């Protein structure tokens, strides 16, 4: 694989170098949201190229008529909605949910450990009291 002017030995190395083109067929660590967002951005680029071609050939009216027949709506002007082309550094809601879940799991584990330690402390105190009763401790 070739990325950023260098050969990579595998898709893992390619991914580590920042190339996200092979993220769709394996669990690379990217969230589903990030993968979908990347695909949608690429699709919008392709659609803009197709719209330029349709305009160059003069088929705008035909496209509009077909869009109304198929969808009931007029064609969507991609150049008027550039805010849809969000960058990759936008917050990923899946990451936030994953972090929240990890935090909950860590809290539950800490609570379990505290209960376990409390039980050990209670058992130790009971054992100490039994030894005192038997005269083992002075």
Residues 106 and 67 both lie in one domain: no
Is the pLDDT reported for residue 114 higher than 80? yes
Phi/psi region, residue 91 (left: phi>0; alpha: psi -120 to 50; beta: rest), is beta
The percent of residues in the chain predicted with pLDDT above 90, rounded, is 24
Q: Are 3 and 17 in contact (CB under 8 A)?
A: yes
Residues 36 and 86 both lie in one domain: yes
pLDDT tens profile 96-107: 788 888 889 999
Residues 36 and 79 both lie in one domain: yes
Pick 8 or 51 by higher pLDDT. 51
Residues 98 and 130 both lie in one domain: yes
Average pLDDT (125-131) is 89
Q: What is the pLDDT of residue 3?
A: 57
Question: What is the rounded CA–CA span in Å between residue 87 and residue 47?
Answer: 18
Task: Report in angstroms the alpha-carbon separations of 69 from 31, 59, 61, 75, 89.
Answer: 36, 15, 12, 11, 38
Residues 98 and 137 both lie in one domain: yes
Neighbours of 14 (CB within 10 A): 22
- Cβ-count burial of 15 within 10 angstroms (0-12 exposed, 13-18 middle, 19+ buried)? buried
Q: Please state whether the predicted TM-score (pTM) of the whole model is above 0.85.
A: no
Residue 39 is inside which H or E element, if any? helix 32-57
Q: Which domain holds residue 119?
A: 93-138
DSSP 7: E
pLDDT tens profile 68-77: 999 888 877 7
Supply the DSSP string of 98-135, one letter for each residue.
Answer: HHHHHHHHHHHHHHHHHHHHHHHHHHHHHHHHHHHHTT
């Amino acid at each position: 694989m070739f990325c950023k002017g260098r050969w990579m030995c595998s898709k893992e190395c390619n991914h580590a170098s920042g190339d996200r083109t092979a993220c769709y067929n394996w669990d690379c660590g990217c969230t589903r949201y990030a993968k979908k967002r990347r695909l949608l951005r690429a699709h919008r680029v392709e659609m803009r190229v197709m719209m330029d071609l349709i305009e160059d050939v003069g088929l705008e009216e035909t496209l509009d008529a077909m869009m109304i027949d198929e969808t009931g709506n007029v064609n969507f002007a991609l150049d008027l909605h550039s805010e849809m082309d969000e960058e990759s550094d936008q917050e990923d809601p899946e990451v936030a949910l994953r972090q929240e879940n990890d935090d909950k799991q860590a809290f539950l584990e800490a609570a379990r450990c505290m209960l376990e330690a409390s039980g050990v402390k209670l058992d130790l105190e009971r054992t100490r009291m039994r030894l005192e009763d038997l005269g083992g401790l002075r």
